[in-house]
């Protein structure tokens, strides 16, 4: 199965991608996670990406397209498929993805567009905590970990993302409106788009997506 999870910052792309990746046994590919790993590893690409991420801007297309290309040609993706989380975010990226999938002869099955209102996004992101160890996601307003700062799944320590400051969050939402939203029209003209109400309980959103994919 080859699917894209599309939506604004805080829509729940990462949350749903983790669940769907397990449910369908497909690799989860998050460009945001790849960039954060590169920052942590102090690579040259990480250093470059960080400048953009700290401001809530998009990392340039050439860099982003190249890391996704290098990942999608690996065997787990060519044999099992993937759930893409946070890519594509520009028309250029969407066109590049089409070319990559042509190259491996694997068309997309669906683009799940997760809709959530802007005020809710800001509340979700300001309350987000992520596990350093396994990547599990928690939220002080919606799905609190049983013990503050500790992961329910693996006991690892939780952290707050550097770009989850109110000012950066607002810019990320603006960048989504100005640059990323146009990707919706690109996929709707390809008849691949499935809009989903993201303002429901996490399990309910998963059910809605699974139902749509059947
Ligand atoms: P990225 O990491 O992709 O961030 P984002 O798009 O801003 O999205 P988020 O990860 O913030 O939100 P999400 O939709 O995954 O929500 P989550 O599931 O965590 O990108 C970061 C940066 O990297 C970008 O700003 C850019 O600089 C760069 N970048 C990445 N990809 C790029 C690309 N393709 N091109 C260029 N640059 C790129 O949920 C949020 C919170 O809400 C959590 O606490 C969660 O527990 C909670 N929650 C989730 N679902 C629900 C629900 N249904 N009800 C209540 N709470 C919920
Ligand atoms: Mg995410
Ligand atoms: Zn964990």
Q: Please check whether residue 116 is in contact with residue 7, taking contact to mean a CB–CB distance below 8 angstroms.
A: yes
Looking at the CA of 32, which ligand is closest? 1
pLDDT, tens digit, for every residue of 46-57?
Answer: 999 999 999 999
Average pLDDT value for residue range 75-88: 96
Following DSSP, what letter does each residue of 48-81 receive, concatenated?
A: HHHHHHTTTPPPPHHHHHHHHHHHHTSHHHHHH-
Q: What is the pLDDT of residue 211?
A: 97
Query: How many angstroms separate the CA atoms of 95 and 177, rounded?
Result: 19
Please state, rounded to an integer, the average pLDDT across all residues of the chain.
96
- Provide the pLDDT for residue 200: 97
Interatomic CA distance for residues 128 and 187, integer angstroms:
29
Residue 105's pLDDT band, with cuts at 50, 70 and 90, is confident
Higher local confidence (pLDDT), 3 or 118? 3
Give the separation between CA 173 and CA 121, rounded to whole angstroms.
8
- What local confidence, expressed as pLDDT, does residue 54 receive? 96
- What are the tokens at 41? 């590893």
Q: Which residues contact 17 (CB under 8 A, 6 or more apart)?
A: 5, 28, 30, 83, 85
pTM of the model: 0.96
Residue 104: predicted pLDDT: 82
| Residue nearest atom 44 of ligand 1, based on CA coordinates | 128
Q: Is the CB of 71 under 6 A from ligand 1?
A: no
Give the mean model confidence (pLDDT) for residues 78-87: 97
Indicate the pLDDT class of residue 103, thresholds 50, 70 and 90.
confident
CA 46 – CA 119 distance, rounded (Å): 30
- Give tens-digit pLDDT for 12-38: 999 999 999 999 999 999 999 999 999
Which run of H or of E encompasses 159?
strand 158-159
Active site residues: 13, 89, 128, 161, 172
Q: pLDDT at residue 70 above 90?
A: yes
Q: Which residues of 164-186 are buried (b: 16+ CB within 10 A; e: fewer)?
A: beeebbbebbebbeeebeebeeb
Bond before 88 cis per omega within 30 degrees:
yes
- The fraction of the chain above a pLDDT of 90, given in percent, is 94
Measure the CA–CA gap between 148 and 93, rounded to whole angstroms. Answer: 38
Q: Whose CA is nearest to atom 6 of ligand 1?
A: 9
Q: Which ligand is nearest to the CA of 138?
A: 1
């Amino acid at each position: 199965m080859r699917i894209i999870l599309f939506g604004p910052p805080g829509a729940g792309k990462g949350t749903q991608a983790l669940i769907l990746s397990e449910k369908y046994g497909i690799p989860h590919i998050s460009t945001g996670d790849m960039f954060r790993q590169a920052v942590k590893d102090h690579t040259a690409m990480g250093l470059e990406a960080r400048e953009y991420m700290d401001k809530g801007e998009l990392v340039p297309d050439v860099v982003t397209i190249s890391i996704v290309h290098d990942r999608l040609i690996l065997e787990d993706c060519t044999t099992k498929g993937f759930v893409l989380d946070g890519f594509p975010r520009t028309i250029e990226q969407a066109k590049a993805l089409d070319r990559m999938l042509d190259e491996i002869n694997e068309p997309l099955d669906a683009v799940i567009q997760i809709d959530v209102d802007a005020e809710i996004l800001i509340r979700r992101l300001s309350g987000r905590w992520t596990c350093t160890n396994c990547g599990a996601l928690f939220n002080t307003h919606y799905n609190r970990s049983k013990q503050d700062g500790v992961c329910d799944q693996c006991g690892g320590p939780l952290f707050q993302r550097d770009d989850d400051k109110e000012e950066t969050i607002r810019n990320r939402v603006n960048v989504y409106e100005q640059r990323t939203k146009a990707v919706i029209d690109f996929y709707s003209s390809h008849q691949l788009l499935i809009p989903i109400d993201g303002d429901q309980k996490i399990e309910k959103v998963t059910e809605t997506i699974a139902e749509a994919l059947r």
